[in-house]
Amino acid sequence: MEYISNYQYYTNNGNIPEDTNWGSYQYLSLKDVVNNFMLFDVGADKLVDNVPRYEVIYHAKRAIQELNYDALKNIKVVDMEVGDNLKFILPADYVNYVRMSILTDGCLTVINENRQANSSNAYLQDNNNDFLFDLDGQIITGQSALDIKRLEQSQYFGPGDYCGSYGWLYDDSWYFRYQLIGFRDDDKDGPTFRINNGVIDFTSGARNRTIVLEYISDGMENGDESLMTVNKMAEEFIYAYISYSILSRKVGIPEYQVKRLRDKKTAMWRNAKIRMSNLHPARIAMRMNNRFQNR
């Protein structure tokens, strides 16, 4: 990698943004990884020979994705205000969510996932309940009754029986013995969400409120290779992964060589996970001290 001066590292030579090079020594770019592999691991006298650069790039990307899925846990944070449609579009590099919170007066409150369906597609039907099709033979869809109810429902202000449950009026608010999932969002558990086909559907308590999503990224940075990076602690795993992936697909490679590369890849994977697990002795000692002091 190219080394830079402290002035360039901390201030980006006085240019904006100043944080361009912060943390750059901790990571290698995808370009550097591929260049290093082509220079030191590919050749007539090497185990890997006559492999095109695009194939190396492909396997390097796959290795970075594997790391982000399990070892690196590349967590990003994004916030957005939920509108009247009660939807939050998932980021393009989203893999899985870590935590969903609602922002209230500068404080984050975790909200829960609701496993019950709160959104669906509606198949349009005629008066005989037969499906309607377009000119291409596809079923015509519309807004479902489930979505309409979720969008219309807010909170309950009336007395007496409500969806099979009785409530109590206290300080101008209604309370119920059991949570009425899908019907009221002003109870102690707050709004809920469910992830459906690239979007997050919220119950009505999230309307016009700011939601903060912490999620695991696949590290692909929307396909921009100049922005893809890998932690130096996982560098050896990347090289081992590329070598194994290339040779395991080639014809005529002895099985013992493939097995040796597979074992090396597994060992490097294990080492990378241990190195990046954040199991620092000082943190462990601090937790143990707090545990004993609280007894």
Q: pLDDT tens digit string along 52-102? A: 999 999 999 999 888 877 766 667 899 989 888 888 888 888 888 888 998
Sheet hosting strand 210-217, strand order edge to edge:
75-81, 210-217, 94-104, 107-110
The span from the CA of 118 to the CA of 112, in Å, is 14
**Cα–Cα distance for residue pair 250/258, rounded to 1 Å:** 10
- Could you tell me the end-to-end alpha-carbon distance of the chain, in angstroms, rounded to an integer? 51
Amino acid 157: pLDDT: 41
CB atoms within 10 A of CB 253: 14
Q: Which residue has the higher pLDDT, 29 or 168?
A: 29
**Whether the predicted pLDDT of 111 surpasses 80:** yes
Domain boundaries, the chain: 23-73+221-293, 84-217
Q: What is the pTM of this model?
A: 0.60
Task: Give pLDDT tens digits for 225-279.
Answer: 767 888 888 899 999 999 999 999 998 899 999 999 999 999 999 888 888 776 6
* pLDDT tens, position by position, 171-230: 555 555 544 443 344 444 568 888 887 888 888 778 888 999 998 887 776 666 767 888
Q: What is the pLDDT of residue 88?
A: 87
How many whole angstroms separate alpha carbon 99 and alpha carbon 118? 19
pLDDT at residue 247 in the model: 93
Cα gap 198→210, rounded to integer Å: 19
Q: What DSSP string runs through the chain?
A: -----HHHHHHGGG-SSGGGGTTGGGEEEHHHHHHHHHHHTBSTTSSB-S--HHHHHHHHHHHHHHIIIIIS--EEEEEEE--TT-EEEPPTTEEEEEEEEEEETTEEEE-EE--S----EEE-B-TTSPBPB-TTSPBPEEE-HHHHHHHH-------SEETTEEEEEETTEEEESS--TTT---STT--EEEEETTEEEE-GGGTT-EEEEEEEE-S-GGG-GGG-EEEGGGHHHHHHHHHHHHHTTSTT--HHHHHHHHHHHHHHHHHHHHHTS---HHHHHHHHHHHHHT-
Instruction: Give Cβ neighbours of residue 110 (< 8 Å, ≥ 6 apart).
Output: 99, 100, 101
Residue pair 42/217 in contact (Cβ under 8 Å)? The answer is no
- Per-residue confidence (pLDDT) for residue 155, from 0 to 100: 42
Using CA atoms, how far residue 42 sits from 26, 34, 37, 243, 283, in Å, is: 25, 11, 7, 9, 42
